Amino acid sequence: MTDGWHAERPTTLILVRHGQSDGNARHIFQGQLDMPLTDLGRKQAEALAEHLMSRQISVMYTSDLSRAMETARIVGKKLGLEPIVDSRLREIDLGGWSGLTRDQVIARYPEEWEAWGRGMDIGHAGGESFERFWARVRGFIEDVLERHPGETILAVAHGGVSRILASKLLGLGLREMFTRLAPSLNTGITEARFCEGRAELVAWMDGTHLEKPRLPGTTTTWYRG
C-alpha cells in the first residue's frame, strides 16, 4: 500500500461518516440507497463542523449520496470549504440487501448471511464485493494524496469506507474487520497519516464532538452505511 502514498512531510486524511440518515433511524441496510439526514443527523453535522474548526483543512471531498452531501454542505459552510463530489466515496453496494432490516436479510438470503458471518467476500445479492469496494476507495485515496501532498484532506463518506481503510491499515481480514473494530458513529472521525510510503491509523470513529452536549442515538452498526 505504498504506490502514490509518498510525501516528504505527512499528508493527513480525515475521513468522517455522515450524520444520522433516515435509513439509520429505521435500522435498514442502506448501501447505495439515497437517504436524507434526519434532524439529529443535521445536529451531529453541526457539532462535527464546530469540532473541525481547529484543524487546518485545505480541501474537502464528499460522496455523491445525499446523506454525505448534506453533511458536507453543513461542515463546508462552517469551514469555508466547497465540497468536491467524488462517487468513489460511496458506500458499498449491497445489492438485494439494500432497504432490508437484519431479520429480512437473514430470511431472504440465509446462505449469504451465513457466508458473510464466516468472513467470505460474498458480493451481497448482486451487489459489490469487498475486493471491488476497496479498489475504488483505494483509487480515491491515492489520487487525493498525490494531488494534496503535505496537506490535511477532509472526506465525508460512509461507515464502510472508513472501516475498510482502517482494516487495510491494520492488516485485518474480512471477519476481523467486523469483530475487532468497534461499531461506527454517525459523524465519527477516522484519521490516517501518510508519509514516505508509510500509512498510520491515528483515530478510529472518534466521537468527541458528540459528547458535550451528548447527542442521543449516535451509535449504529457500520454496515448499514
Q: What is the CATH number of the domain that holds 119?
A: 3.40.50.1240
* Inter-residue long-range contacts of 102-107, CB under 8 Å, 24+ positions, other chains counted: 102/27, 102/29, 105/29
Residue 62, pLDDT score: 98
Q: What is the number of other CB atoms lying within 10 angstroms of the CB of residue 132?
A: 14
Decide: pTM greater than 0.95. Answer: no
To the nearest 10°, report the CA torsion of 74, 37, 54, 15: -120
C-alpha cell read off for 90: 460511496
pLDDT in tens, 55-67: 999 999 999 999 9
Average pLDDT of 72-96? 97
Residues that are catalytic: 18, 91
Question: Would 6 be classed as within a structural domain?
Answer: no
| pLDDT, averaged across the chain | 89
> How many structural domains does the chain have?
1
Q: Which domain holds residue 100?
A: 11-224
Residue 6, pLDDT score: 57
Question: Would 2 be classed as within a structural domain?
Answer: no
Rounded to the nearest 5°, which phi and psi values hold at 207?
-115, 30
Per-residue confidence band for 117, with pLDDT thresholds at 50, 70 and 90: confident
Residues 6+ apart with CB under 8 A from 37: 18, 19, 20, 21, 22, 45, 66, 67, 70, 71
